[in-house]
Chain A
Amino acid sequence: MPKSRFASFGRFRRSHEFWLLIVILVLCASLGAANGQFLTMQNLFDLLTSYAFVGILALGLLVVLIAGGIDISFTATASVAQYVTLTVANAYGANWVCVFAIAIGIGGTLGALNAIFIQKLRIPSIIVSVATLNIFYGLLIFFTGGKYIYSLPDWFATGIFWFEFDWGKDTSYGVNLQILALGFSFLFTWLLLNRSNIGRQIYAMGGNTDAAQRLGFHVFGLNMLVYCYMGVMAGIASLVQAQLAQSVAPTVLVGKELDVVAAVVLGGASLMGGVGTVLGTFLGLALLAILQNGIILLGVSSYWSPFFVGLVILISVSATAWSQRERRTRSARP
């Protein structure tokens, strides 16, 4: 049906994602022209590797935002998961399956705590997650004294490196733990949100909670799932980050929330719930990475980076709001 394909392209052209894509292409072209280093395979792999942590968390947050909630405690959750998991691995020995199982378990449990406070006590999610961020983080610092862990199990420190291939003379690329986890998280979240009835229930609930309840959706269960999913993503992201940093530092993750929120919001997710896509989040993450990386490659002081990120968020959110308003007033009611 060529007609419907045109129609869906038309719809894509009006979407937030389309404009993001244009902005990203323009940015890439100009950064590529300004600095030959930018558009290289090396830089691409580096960016994917170093933004895997933010990206995985962004996917968890995307699901929470679509459900109509918000969670900012995930960096503390990740810090706890990371610390406990690698302490256990150091003490008792473990393998990949084990460490991921532990980190996921811890993340999921902490997420469930958030869900219980939010749903059972009906406290707004922003307040709950600000509180739990401080509680999780405070307890972690108290029990660890803020000490870093530098010695990690050998197999963990080595990481993984799959599908190695050579490029040019002496550079070789492969799929490392970060890229693998990032790719898997994107795939799984996409499947959850677009191919499972649970994902669609999450969208519906975020769009109209009362209506979801009336249709018999299990609102408590869905919220539980959503916040656990955020926690699980925090668990996975925490190992990805520890492997990359080759150390566990209880104090460095907290504070990175805003990067994650930035990526998701740039990607078009709405804090009002019900709106947001995996593609958008990917593009939002890409834009964030390109901006921050571009600033460094252009030799601008990296102190400017938050300024530009903030500016781009403002512009992109206003542009979307403006175009929606235009469309609403222009579409004369039938």
Chain B
Amino acid sequence: MTTFLEMSGISKRFGGVHALRDVDLTLEVGEVHCLVGENGSGKSTLIKIISGVEAPEPGGRIVISGKEYPKLSPVYSTHCGIQVIYQDLSLFSNLTVVENIAMAHHLGGVHTVNWSSMRAIAMATMAKVGIEVDPETKVSELSIAGRQLVAICRALAADAKLLIMDEPTASLTRHEVNTLIKLVSDLKRSGICVVFVSHRLDEVLEIAERVTVLRDGAKVGTFAAAAIDGSKLSHLMTGKAFEYQKQVPDLAVGAVVLEVQGLGRDGDYDDVSLQLRAGEVVGLTGLLGSGRTELALSLFGMNPPDRGTMALDGHRVVLNTNADAIRRGIAYVSEDRLTLGLILDQSITSNVTLTVLERLAGAFGLIGTRARQSHVARWVAELGIKVSDPNNPVKTLSGGNQQRIVLAKWMATNPRVLILDSPTVGVDIRAKDGIYEIIRRLAREGVAVLMISDEIPEVLYHSHRVLVMREGRLTADVMAADTSEDALRQAVNA
């Protein structure tokens, strides 16, 4: 095997935060190498150094295909065949699929644009990856999975030798993940080295040959995937063991808070009837496109249903906007946190306090700095968010910590009904544990929780009751204690 990239002694500081300490890494040609570690352990930072977006502290050494560099720049690293698909995908959503994929055509000196050759390049890579979208649509009109594939196409079109994917599967369904895994093994066969970051450890073990574990910016070690298992990995990452049992409903499950009858919306879902009780966690699972998210949005007043009724505490309500829903105590944590959940350029403080401004207001409706700070400090502590300074913009946080900010924002509203759409996507195992604990606590306090998730174990072990949605209809409604992973999997995929 030949080594494609070798780096040693890599450190990186951001102000007071030591994001990486003296990390070594080697990547072989044609291997699939996974990077794992908790949120904020430095995975994305390491990637940014490989791609030349961030410069390491002096003293590090990077060797690519036998040539040594003290640091890289985006242009060098692209030139060496390094392509990165970032957590935020880095696409140009204002431009078309064709232009995004063939963006490298625009690099270099001043020249005229050859639209037909760009189109040809884009169509060829799209065919290779097997996506079918109108190449002239704007990327902003694609689903997250679609955008992901466009980002992969762009990397391939730029002739990648090393393809780095930062949490590519975070917002994909199991089915899409399988497609991606197949794609990765095809790439590997054609001699491309793939670096894969993921918090789903089963996936990591399925896809990788070697796994490098980071903890608090330092490297724990590199292991052959065949030699370890999921629980060992999570132990290496956190130094802690995790085991879950099914939730038995509290006897104290209370009155029906939210009830819908025969809810339907053309093209999204139909004939949905369900009840959410105070103190109960209800899991909702199903394939992407089964109508889960659309249903959740309707319950939150954002996607008005065409038919059916909704009642809160037995009183019929019509929610026309999300403001209606919020006023009535319904909170919704979206799956697409980067566009719907957060204002990335604003500070952590402003994001966390956004939903509770009225409550924090003192005399004359002014908000004291002290009230804001203590509010933020409380939630940062409660959710274990890794923050160096709450006045930094949210975009300086690692992906998983951003997710926790979204949760904090909504939990702070003291909702009566909390809808969580894929709450643990991109969140590391310890933080997941923290989020489950919070969900359990909220339920004990009498909140009705609806948790949407792709991951069957997640709904099975962390809800009292499980609903399955298929092709826009509810096809199962069972107590978690009375079902099994296999039974649910069958209900989802049947």
- On A, residues with C-beta under 8 Å from B are 4, 7-8, 11, 194-201, 203-204, 206-208, 210-217, 273-275, 327, 329, 331-334
Contact = CB atoms under 8 A, between A and B. Distances in A.
A242 B323 CA distance: 54
A207 B94 contact: yes
Nearest to B108: A197
Nearest to B303: A329
B465 to A, nearest CB: 25
Given A216-B75, A274-B94, A334 B111 contact: no
A211 B94 CA distance: 12
B113 A196 contact: yes
Interface of B: 51, 53, 73-75, 78, 84, 86, 88, 90-95, 99, 103-108, 110-113, 134, 136, 141, 143, 145-146, 267-268, 288-289, 293-294, 302-303
Contact of A197 (B86, B111, B141, B294): B111
A200 to B, nearest CB: 5
Given A196-B111, A216-B107, A203 B94 contact: yes
A39 to B, nearest CB: 36
A273 B94 CA distance: 9
A208 B267 contact: no
A17 to B, nearest CB: 15
B83 to A, nearest CB: 10
Nearest to A333: B143
Contact of A204 (B53, B95, B146): B95
B20 to A, nearest CB: 19
Given A208-B91, A329-B303, 4 more contacts: A204-B95, A208-B94, A211-B91, A212-B92
A197 B94 contact: no
B136 A214 contact: no
A207 B303 contact: no
A334 B75 contact: no
Given A7-B136, A197-B108, A200-B113, A207 B93 contact: yes
25 contacts: A196-B113, A197-B105, A197-B110, A197-B111, A197-B112, A198-B110, A203-B95, A204-B99, A204-B103, A204-B106, A206-B94, A207-B93, A208-B91, A208-B92, A208-B93, A210-B88, A211-B91, A213-B74, A214-B84, A215-B90, A216-B78, A217-B107, A332-B267, A333-B143, A334-B146
Given A208-B93, A213-B53, A216-B74, A331 B141 contact: yes
Contacts of B104: 215
A314 B251 CA distance: 56
A334 B143 contact: yes
Contacts of B106: 197, 200-201, 204
A208 to B, nearest CB: 5
Contacts of B90: 208, 210-211, 214-215
A196 B268 CA distance: 42
A210 B344 CA distance: 12
Nearest to A202: B106
Given A7-B134, A197-B105, A215-B107, A203 B302 contact: no
- Chain B interface secondary structure, helix, strand, loop or mixed? loop
Contacts of A214: 51, 53, 74, 84, 86, 90
A333 to B, nearest CB: 5
A200 B99 contact: yes
Contacts of A275: 94
B393 to A, nearest CB: 12
Considering the complex of A and B, which 4 residue pairs feature the smallest CB-CB distances, nearest first? A211-B90, A274-B94, A207-B94, A216-B74
A64 to B, nearest CB: 16
A194 B136 contact: no
A66 B80 CA distance: 31
Nearest to A270: B94
Contacts of B95: 200, 203-204, 207, 274
Interface centre among A7, A207, A213, A275 (most CB of B within 10 A): A207
Given A196-B113, A274-B92, A215 B99 contact: no
B109 to A, nearest CB: 8
Contacts of A8: 136
Contacts of A213: 53, 74
Given A197-B113, A203-B95, A204-B106, A329 B302 contact: yes
Contacts of A216: 73-75, 78, 107
A334 B103 CA distance: 25
Contacts of A273: 94
Contacts of B134: 7
A273 B143 CA distance: 22
A210 B113 CA distance: 23
Nearest to B144: A333
Contacts of A195: 112-113
Contacts of A11: 136
Contact of A196 (B73, B88, B94, B110): B110
Nearest to B77: A216
Contacts of A327: 141
A331 B134 CA distance: 15
Contact of A334 (B51, B91, B289): B289
A39 B105 CA distance: 45
A249 B241 CA distance: 79
B173 to A, nearest CB: 11
A334 B293 CA distance: 11
Contacts of A274: 92, 94-95
A214 B105 CA distance: 15
A333 B267 CA distance: 10
Contacts of B99: 200, 204
B293 A196 contact: no
Nearest to B107: A216
A239 B454 CA distance: 64
A195 B93 CA distance: 20
Contacts of B75: 216
